[in-house]
Amino acid sequence: MKPLIALMLCAPLLAACTTAQPLQPIPGSIIYGGQPHMKLTESPPGTRLKHRFTNQWGQDVYETYIIQPDRSLKLVSRQEMSPPF
């Protein structure tokens, strides 16, 4: 009985953990301002693309995209590195 009660109490908390917001493009991202006009016809869907740029604060930004079946890009990860001083 106690495990059932614990499960009922924890289920809403676990459900809330799975609703992560998708990453939004920032200035410098490939898809900032919309999808690129060129279609990626050489690479198959599911291919990962890496993109590196410097943001307005001088940080190196590394982004990873996945090519979707309709040839659009989906931003799946971003890592920002502080500049060395």
Biggest CA pair distance of the chain: 59
Tell me the pLDDT band of 85, cut-offs 50, 70 and 90.
low
Name the residue with higher pLDDT: 34 or 1: 34
Q: Fill in the DSSP letter of residue 37.
A: S
Please report the pLDDT score of residue 42 as a whole number. 86
Query: What is the C-alpha separation between 69 and 43, in angstroms, rounded?
Result: 11
Write the pLDDT tens digit of every residue in 42-77: 889 999 999 999 998 889 999 999 999 999 999 999
Tell me the pLDDT band of 11, cut-offs 50, 70 and 90.
low
Mean pLDDT of the chain: 84
What is the value of pTM for the model shown? 0.70
Tell whether the torsion through CA atoms of 53, 57, 60 and 66 is positive or negative: negative
